[in-house]
Amino acid sequence: MKQNPLNIIITGVGGQGNILASAILASTAVQDGLNVSVGETYGASQRGGAVTSHVRLYEKDQCGPLIPEGKAHLILGFEPVECLRSIGVFGNQDTKVIVNPKPVYPVDVLSGEATYPRVEEVLRATKELVDKVYVVEAAKIAMEAGNVVLQNIVMAGCLIGLELTPLTTESAKDVIKEIFPNKTESYLKAFELGVREVRKAKPL
């Protein structure tokens, strides 16, 4: 691995399935014979709060479950504002970002106590802070695979499809088959659509 540890942040909102995405990536790493450490904060996961996972791939020296400030190599953003918030803490000028541009409005916005910035504005700010930004309409692609809840699988496909990690699509598919024995077809389809989408996406 070029970077050791390789630091990946997965961020979104409770209910988007990003914890499952991090579990798939971590299991893929084990399948590929790598070491992995995952830190998760999900006390608020079912209550509309932000949920962030730190996935760290490493070779020899074990690393802790939290990525230090400014040290993320890759950020997988399930929600544009949460993605930008994570970049503020963990991003740097070399970070690569994959972001799903569909907003999930916080209750503070719905109740009129705060405003949600325009998505184009959020993406522009995102681009200013990092190296490359891949915008992927994960929710729409998930619908193609049959269900909007598969957006997390689409996003996992994007991350592995980008080939910036040593994780292989073959191992990821094995993991998906193992975790979802009854729904393998739609999950594999969502994963493959994610791989394909990110490979044809032009980064900002």
Least Å from the CB of residue 39 to another protein: 5
Site string for another protein, 123-152 (x = CB under 8 A): --x--xx---------x--------xx---
Q: Which is nearer to another protein, 68 or 199 (CB)?
A: 68
Residue from 1, 4, 59, 107 that binds another protein (CB under 8 A)? 107
Size of the site for another protein (CB under 8 A): 60
Place of tokens 């994007």: 158
Q: What's the angle, vertex CA 92, arms to CA 67 and CA 172, rounded to 5?
A: 55
Residue from 3, 42, 132, 180 that binds another protein (CB under 8 A)? 42
Q: What token pair was written down for 107?
A: 């209750």
Site string for another protein, 51-90 (x = CB under 8 A): ----------xxxxxx-xxxx---------xx-xx-xx--
Q: Which is nearer to another protein, 37 or 198 (CB)?
A: 37
CB within 8 A of 194, min separation 6: which ones?
A: 136, 138, 141, 153, 154, 155, 156, 157, 158, 161
Q: Which is nearer to another protein, 33 or 200 (CB)?
A: 33
Q: Which is nearer to another protein, 50 or 160 (CB)?
A: 50
**CA–CA dist 202, 100 (Å, integer):** 14
DSSP state of 29: H
Q: Does 26 bind another protein (CB under 8 A)?
A: yes
Residue from 32, 77, 97, 106 that binds another protein (CB under 8 A)? 106
Listing DSSP states for 66-127 in one string gives SPPTT--SEEEESSHHHHHHHHHHH--TT-EEEE-------HHHHTTSS-PPPHHHHHHHHH
Burial of 114 (0-12, 13-18, 19+ CB in 10 A): exposed
CA end-to-end span of the chain: 26
Q: Does 172 bind another protein (CB under 8 A)?
A: no
Q: Does 43 bind another protein (CB under 8 A)?
A: yes
Binding residues (CB under 8 A) for another protein: these are 13, 15, 23, 26-27, 30, 35-44, 46-50, 61-66, 68-71, 81-82, 84-85, 87-88, 91-93, 104-117, 125, 128-129, 139, 148-149
